[in-house]
Amino acid sequence: MPSVSVSILVLEDDDGIRSSLALAMGGEGYDPVPHGTAESALAAVHERPVDLMLVDLMLGAMDGFTFIREVRQVSDAPIIVVSARTDTHDIVAALEAGADDYVTKPFEVKEVSARLRALLRRPQGITRDGSREDPDRIVIDSRSGLVLDVAAGLVRRGQEPLHLTMTEFRLLCEFARPAGRVLSRRGLLERVWEHGYFGDERIVDVHIRRLRTKIEPVPSHPELLVTVRGLGYRLDPR
């Protein structure tokens, strides 16, 4: 249960499910902000940011995929999709749009709450020797001035901050802890998602692609976050 007030948008067009989910989130210690349409939810986030979002995909004129893409223009808050759609293409599409995780209906409230807590948890201090926190900023790319500042929760290119989602930020921290290690998909799921994601491991590939679009000079030809065929991924700072 959150120790401080944490607001959570609950976007679901079914009145009964929305009420039940909002009530359950309130019982878990969150401050629910329920909405029945993507349009009203988007307007609400513009007016008052939230800390977390639970989003259904099958909505009205604006579906969940479109809502996620639109809200990502103004918010980096963690998003969990809660949907009855179980097709892998739908899951990947939701993640590509900007969602952090995907839970299929029916679901256990405790599972959703555990995933929310994992997404809220800030990465611990980067370690260079594996044993102690290092307060220094981590240079990812000296050529472009790309720097990871874990303590501040920021990634900058020069003086310009990059807008990473919480999941993208946590991924980058894991790769820099320390850099040069090959991390498998399963290992990343256990480290970043923490609760143990039991679905398609391609969730990692989707987030890696999104992260590359933000940190790589040429995302289609990655030089910093590289693929190690058959093993996983590795961060090669320069």
CATH numbers and ranges of domains, the chain: 7-120 (3.40.50.2300), 138-235 (1.10.10.10)
Task: Identify the pLDDT of residue 122.
Answer: 62
pLDDT tens-digit readout, 100-126: 888 888 888 888 888 888 888 766 544
* 66: Cβ contacts below 8 Å, ≥ 6 apart: 38, 97
pTM of the model: 0.78
Total Cβ atoms within 10 A of residue 121: 11
Task: Identify the pLDDT of residue 52.
Answer: 94
Task: Identify the pLDDT of residue 134.
Answer: 47
* 97: Cβ contacts below 8 Å, ≥ 6 apart: 65, 66, 68, 69, 72
Long-range contacts of 98-106 (CB under 8 A, 24+ apart): 98/68, 98/69, 98/71, 98/72, 98/165, 98/210, 99/55, 99/68, 100/165, 100/166, 100/167, 100/207, 101/167, 101/193, 101/197, 101/203, 102/199, 102/203
Task: Identify the pLDDT of residue 128.
Answer: 36
CA distances from 101 to 31, 106, 112, 199, 217 (A): 20, 15, 10, 10, 27
How is the chain split among helix, strand and coil, in percent rounded to 5? 35, 20, 45
Task: Identify the pLDDT of residue 111.
Answer: 84
Task: Identify the pLDDT of residue 195.
Answer: 59
Task: Identify the pLDDT of residue 64.
Answer: 93
CA distances from 126 to 44, 123, 158 (A): 36, 8, 20
- Tens of each residue's pLDDT in the chain, 238 residues: 665 689 999 999 999 999 999 999 999 999 999 999 999 999 999 999 999 999 999 998 999 999 999 999 999 899 999 988 878 888 889 988 999 888 888 888 888 888 888 888 766 544 433 333 444 678 899 988 999 988 778 898 988 888 888 889 989 999 988 888 999 988 888 888 765 555 567 788 999 999 999 999 999 999 999 999 989 999 998 8
Q: Which two tokens stand for residue 140?
A: 């990812």
Q: Which two tokens stand for residue 136?
A: 């220094």
